[in-house]
Structure 1
Amino acid sequence: MTHDRRRPYRTIGAAVAAIALLVLAAQAHGALAPGSGGAGSAPAAKPPPKHAGFDYQIGGPYAPPSGVEVVSRDHTAKPADGLYNICYVNAFQAQPDAEDEWGDLLLRDANGDVVYDKEWDEAFLDLRTADKRERIAKKVGRWIDSCAEKGFQAVEPDNYDSYTRAPDKLLTAKQAQAFIKLLSERAHDKGLAIGQKNTPDLADARKANGLDFAVAEECGEYDECGRYAKAFDDRVVVIEYTRDGLAKACEGWGDRLSVVRRDVDVSKPGDDGYVRQTC
């Protein structure tokens, strides 16, 4: 159940064997590190550490509290020095008042009207054709590239579950997965790990979709943390927005997953309503 955010091996012959021997020889002489790619290849993506101190700063960056090892920030911000940084991008919906940037890539209903996620006042992006998915991925991909250039280690594409909120089944899980695969490829090409944002119903397909860890909002509140923990081998960062949700997440998963409570607006210290608590 999904809830709204609070936000073949084949033998080819002697030629392949000869190449393999040359590679092994190069490794033995230090010319090529085991597991390394060719010239210009990106480093292997590394997911965030398990059960690490975590802070969710997508509403604006600030000095991470003591004990924090992993932080998530918007793609327009800089990563935090010395920490594992996750880069937030709104990949499946347009930011409020940013519809003009997307043109014909906005989802429209049978009347030609743009379709909105009413809770967040964000227009859905149109994932219904391969051409549009590729064009959207190209734009989002530039943000992903920027995340890598800035020094982030991972990317968090938000609103993977937009198909669950689009009316009249205009979007489907199959389309969402086809799109996330494009983003996974782009992220991995840049050496970034990529997280599944919410969407527990698709957690079991995470390997097929190329996803490395999970960012789960309110999984304690809705008893979903176990689904993410199993699918992602405990590589899960949890954000709760209520006292009860934090208590449930900490009681059931506080010794295994990275858990934090934030205010719904994900504000900064000193702002009215700022909340940050951990287990």
Structure 2
Amino acid sequence: MPFNPRARTRAFTAAAVASAAAVVGPLLLAPTADAAAQAVVPPPAHAGFDYQIGSPYTPPAGVQVVSRDHTAAPAAGLYNICYVNAFQAQPGAESEWGDLLLRDAKGNVVYDEDWGEAMLDIRTDAKRKQIAAKVDAWIDGCAGKGFNAVEPDNLDTFDRTNLISESNAKAYVKLLADHAHAKGLAIAQKNTPGFSTDRATTGLDFAVAEECGQWDECGDYTAGFNDNVIVIEYQDKAFRKTCAEFGDRLSVVLRDVNVSAPGDSGYVRKTC
């Protein structure tokens, strides 16, 4: 199961809802055997969105786009984004990665301490290709289930260690983008606002931005992706600010940090 959402950002165009609804229909077909021939289409801009990477549930009324973990099934009749942890290992899954885990000069595995996740070693072309092959298998599963796009998380792992560079991250995510496109899937830039204007290098199609209002970064995403930006806020004050500044352009949702389901005591979901 996925873990809590990544509030990873560091302080460091447009379609109306009606027109967005009109384009959703053609996007809902599951990828065919000849997926490479399909047009890759990002989610409709300014569409109702729900972030369900913690636990899938029946989408609320008005939702057109849903993000769910790759282990879940897509929501029927909607545009579905498939979440994968692409740059770090799931807690407890280190043994699945063997020598592909990032190690420091002493040979110790390097962890994202906030989330207890071992980082993957994307510093060389050879290891990038090996890691991508494993993640590509998850992407294949997303395509096979009928998802429309993929959301590879932790693109900004390099921001939490001096062992990985931005160029390493860009080279690796481009491998994932090429594979996703070959399967007929769009692919998101998850956080990392500084990459938004370098789409020619990364190959990414739209953005999923956590807390861009909190950190005054939403404009950084629109600079590269125009209105093809989905925003998740976790604090009500930041959510209200984001709605005031971008609510007429972008898909914006307020969620609880545990992305829980209705009926759970901490469940929160609001839209502009």
- Determine if the TM-score, normalized by the shorter chain, exceeds 0.5: yes
DSSP-derived class of the 1:97 partner: coil
Task: After TM superposition, list the pairs within 5 Å mapping 1:257-268 onto structure 2.
Answer: 257-268=250-261
**Quick one: which of 204, 207, 213 aligns to 1:214?**
207
Question: How far is 1:209 from its partner?
Answer: 1.1
Question: How far is 1:242 from its partner?
Answer: 0.3
Task: After TM superposition, list the pairs within 5 Å mapping 1:172-211 onto structure 2.
Answer: 172-211=165-204
Matched, 1:253 2:246: yes
Give 1:6's aligned residue: 7
**Quick one: which of 145, 148, 157 aligns to 2:143?**
148
Question: How far is 1:233 from its partner?
Answer: 1.5
Counterparts of 1:222 and 1:77, CA distance in 2 = 31
Q: Is the 8 A contact 2:35 2:183 kept in 1?
A: no
DSSP-derived class of the 2:91 partner: coil
Counterparts of 2:247 and 2:258, CA distance in 1 = 23
Percent of residue pairs identical? 65
Counterparts of 1:208 and 1:113, CA distance in 2 = 31
Counterparts of 1:79 and 1:72, CA distance in 2 = 8
Matched, 1:104 2:99: yes
Counterparts of 1:67 and 1:271, CA distance in 2 = 21
Give 2:111's aligned residue: 116
Give 1:225's aligned residue: 218
Deviations for 1:189-243, whole angstroms, at most 9, x for unmatched residues? 0000000000001111023211000000000111111111121021000000000
- Which shifted more, 227-236 or 137-146? 227-236
Structure 1: runs of 5+ lacking an equivalent: 8-38
Task: After TM superposition, list the pairs within 5 Å mapping 1:81-92 onto structure 2.
Answer: 81-92=76-87
Matched, 1:271 2:272: no
Counterparts of 1:174 and 1:6, CA distance in 2 = 22
DSSP-derived class of the 2:37 partner: coil
Task: After TM superposition, list the pairs within 5 Å mapping 1:27-46 onto structure 2.
Answer: 41-46=36-41
- Which shifted more, 225-234 or 252-261? 225-234
- Aligned-residue RMSD, C-alpha: 1.2
Which structure exhibits the higher relative contact order, with contacts defined as CA atoms closer than 8 Å and separated by 6 or more residues? 2
Q: Cα 1:54–1:107, aligned 2, differ >3 Å: closer, same or farther?
A: same
Deviations for 1:99-130, whole angstroms, at most 9, x for unmatched residues? 01000000000111100000011000001111
Counterparts of 2:221 and 2:187, CA distance in 1 = 15
Counterparts of 1:107 and 1:160, CA distance in 2 = 15
Letter in 1 for 2:244: E
Give 1:240's aligned residue: 233
Letter in 1 for 2:96: E
Counterparts of 2:255 and 2:238, CA distance in 1 = 11
Letter in 1 for 2:216: D
Give 1:30's aligned residue: none
Q: Is the 8 A contact 2:35 2:182 kept in 1?
A: no
Letter in 1 for 2:201: A
Letter in 2 for 1:205: D
Letter in 2 for 1:72: S
DSSP-derived class of the 1:208 partner: helix
Counterparts of 2:169 and 2:57, CA distance in 1 = 32
Question: How far is 1:40 from its partner?
Answer: 6.9
Q: How many residues align?
A: 243
DSSP-derived class of the 1:207 partner: helix
Give 1:79's aligned residue: 74
Counterparts of 2:112 and 2:35, CA distance in 1 = 40
Question: TM-score, normalised to structure 1's length?
Answer: 0.85
DSSP-derived class of the 2:61 partner: coil
Matched, 1:164 2:159: yes
Question: TM-score, normalised to structure 2's length?
Answer: 0.87
Q: Which runs of 4+ in 1 moved over 6 A?
A: none
